Each structure stands twice: as C-alpha cells, then as structure tokens.
Amino acid sequence: MDARDAAQAIYRAALLAADGRQRTFEWLHRHAMEPQVWAVAVGKAAPAMAEGASEALGSRLSRGLLVTKHGHLRPNSADGPFECYQTGHPVPDAVSLGAGRRLLEFIAEAPPGVHWLFLVSGGASSLVEVLPEGQILHDLQRAQHWLLGSGLAITEINRIRKGLSLIKGGRLAMRLAGQDLTVLMISDVPGDDPTVVGSGLLAAAPADRDLSGLALPGWLRAQLDGAPPAPDPDHPALARVHHHVIASLEDARRGAVRKARELGLDAVCHRSRLAGDATAVGHRLGALTREASAGVQVWGGETTVILPPDPGRGGRCQQLALAAALELQGIPDSCLLAAGTDGTDGPTEDAGAIVDGGTVARGLRSGFTAEFCLTRADAGTFLEASGDLLQTGPTGTNVNDLVVTVKMQ
C-alpha cells in the first residue's frame, strides 16, 4: 500500500467512526422514547440520521420531516415516515424558504402529547429558513455570499445568520414552548456548541442578543436591525430542550488514528483545531510533513478563505491542499489529504484533494501554476488538471474537515 492508498483508507475509517446512521441508531437504542415520536431531521447528514432513527424506533416514529442538501437524499429516504426536501447549500434557495414554511406547518399539525425528536447536523443554517417580514430571498443570498467570502470563523458567521432568521438562535424552540424536545446533533463546530451547530435552531446564546460589536457592511447591518431580537437563553422554554452530541470531529480523528495503526503506521493526532487562512495552514502542514519522520499525522478543523472579486473553482480544503503541495514537491511516497467529512468542499461536488510530491509538476505540465491558482482561489482548476481531486459523494456525516498526512519513508 502506498501513501495515497493509506491516506484514503484512513479517511474512510474516520467517516465510518462518525457515521450518522449508526450513531443515531445506537443512541436511540440505548434511550427509551415515548410511543408517538415526531421527528425533524435537518442538515447534510439528515438522511443518514433519519435512517438510523427509523431503524431504532420502528412504529414508534409516527411522522417525520427531512431537509437536506440537493443530491444528498438516499434511495430509501422517502420509503419511511419522512417527508423529504432537498434545498440549497451553501447558499439558500427558494426551496430553503419553502422548507422553512413547511417546518412551521409541520409543527402546528402535531397532536398533543407527541415526543419531538430533532436530528441536527451542519448545513442546517442554509438548508431551512424563515425570514423576518420585509426581507426576501435576494437579501438572504447576498448576506450569505458576503459571509462565505468574509474570512470570518464559523462561530461569527452563524451569529450573523441567526440575526437574519425567525427560526435560528433558539427561536424555533420558542414555537414549541411547553414541550420536551430531544435533540441529537452531529457537530461540525468548535466546542460542539449547540448554539452554533446549524445556527442554533433550538438553542440560544447570550451573544446572540447583541450584534453591535461586529464589523459589517451597512446594508447587512440594516438587515440585522430589521429582525426581532433573539430569545433570552434563560427562557423556561429552552430549559426543556435536551441536546446530545452523538458524533463529532473527535470521533473521526480517533477513527483515523485507529486505522493508521491497523495499517502498521505510527500515528499522531493533533488535538488543536485547524483554523485561519487555508493557504497559510496548507504551507505550514506541508512543511511539517516534509520534515517529519515516517508515519501518519491527523488534524481536523475548519480554515477560511477570503475570496477575491471573481473567485475560481474550489473550497478551503482544496486551497489548503494545493498550498501544501508546494511544500511537498519532490518528496517521495508522501501525501496530504484534505477533505470535508460531509463529502463536499465549498460550492463544489468535490470532497477535497489528495496531493503528493508530483502534484505541482503534473499541474504545470497542463499549463497551470499553483501560486497563481491560489491567488485566484482557483485551486480546484489546478487540482483537476493534476488529477488530485477527491470525490466521495454524500458521506452520511458532517464533523468538519479532516487533514491526513502520510509519509512512508
């Protein structure tokens, strides 16, 4: 097995360790549920989580509503009790707003005495939305485009998203006041914070009530000023919401290290989360790999990319990987894999990329220079030419990005 094969085997093991279907089934199998359960699954891992819930609950699951990204539904998603919607991500579309309206109708249709089960994973911020009066889809999409290219960390991005919504930041929980809610989460955010995952559909944070300290363009500030304030985190209704993180980045990292050791490779798991500019992080990790001894290193987290006015193709994992490839030039039997655990990287259908010592030379032979593509946020174009893009399709989980380096000698 060469370095690239090993890296991909390690990545697949990491995904399996955080699998949404299996983790949901296991949690519900261990915890008793009332005989009449109504479920809402929202996020990129929603189909897998809904499948796990259906298997665990059987006839106790009366009805369900599922909202996920276009192309992420499973072949059997519509066979059970779930009514399914596929909507826009990372930028909301008209179906995202339609799913938001349907969510409120679905809640209103529930008879008294049902037990509510929410299955929440990353992507929910874009996939389902209800806008304040006077705002339209164009306003929301403009805000999302600005946020995606701002270079802000996900915690700050989701604080702003909550300020533009009638269901985020705990507002949805207020519509279910007086009822007990069980929320199972697959976390893709630092600290596995329920107020940040999916922009806090069912959880509020003190910081959500004051966005005045954020440096934002005037037009976006005006949108925020037009939305109602977030609920108080101490509101009694929120006390009856019970959050449980069933899968996280830590699970994926442990699965990666376990697989590396099964392959007979020394493995190191870096506990600090990756953050900051993707290009700078890529250069740093590539240099570390170049100087390291033989073995495997595993990182996880979420970097950022500040987009130029006319960005090219790619995402933060591709940007990181191409920067690392510049540091790995000529290094034999070594590679770096950077990929989203959800199977997508930015607004592309690629999960990320796997680069090695020959990546830069292969792209150059096709007429591309890595430095130029990095400047244009066009890493995907280069990596397609070099043959280093990684495609997985929807994975059934979403616990942030994973970076794996393998050095065989």
Burial call 355-372: b when 16+ CB within 10 Å, e when fewer: bbbbbbebbeeeebebee
**pLDDT at 77 exceeding the cut of 80:** no
* Residue 243 binned pLDDT confidence (cut-offs 50, 70, 90): very high
pLDDT in the model for residue 346? 87
Read off the pTM.
Answer: 0.94
**Which of the listed residues 204, 224, 247 is the one where a domain comes to its end?**
247
| Nearest one of 114, 48, 41, 135 to 84, comparing CA atoms | 41
- Please report the pLDDT score of residue 54 as a whole number: 96
Task: Tell me: do 191 and 254 sit in the same domain.
Answer: no
Instruction: Verify that 321 and 284 share a domain, yes or no.
Output: yes
Structural domain containing residue 220: 19-247
- Whether residue 10 is contained in a domain is answered as no
**80 pLDDT band (50/70/90 cuts)?**
confident
Question: Is 194 inside any structural domain?
Answer: yes
* 1 inside domain: no
The reply to whether 42 falls in a domain is yes
Residue 222: its H or E element = helix 218-225
Residue 261 is assigned to a structural domain of this protein: yes
User: 318 and 172 share a domain?
Assistant: no
Residue that terminates a domain, selected from 247, 267, 288: 247
Q: What is the mean pLDDT of residues 62-83?
A: 90
Smallest CA-to-CA distance from 286 within 253, 320, 327, 252 is with 327
Mean pLDDT, to the nearest integer, of 246-256?
98
Do residues 62 and 92 both lie within one domain?
yes
Return the CATH number at 135.
3.40.50.10180
User: Phi then psi for 193, rounded to 5 degrees?
Assistant: -80, 120
In this structure, the answer to whether residues 50 and 145 fall within a common structural domain is yes
The answer to whether residues 240 and 265 belong to one domain is no
At 337, which CATH number?
A: 3.40.1480.10
Residue 328: name the closest of 1, 51, 73, 7 by CA. Answer: 7
Report yes or no on 167 lying in a domain. yes
Collect all residues with Cβ–Cβ distance below 8 Å to 66 and sequence separation of at least 6: 40, 41, 42, 46, 47, 50, 73, 77, 82, 83, 84, 85
Bridge partner list, 209: none
**Domains: count for the chain:** 2
Assess if residue 158 is contained within a domain. yes
Residues 292, 357 within the same domain: yes
Evaluate the omega torsion of the peptide bond into residue 228 and state whether it is cis, within 30 degrees of 0: no
Same domain, 301 and 284: yes
Same domain, 239 and 255: no
> Is 86 in the same domain as 193?
yes
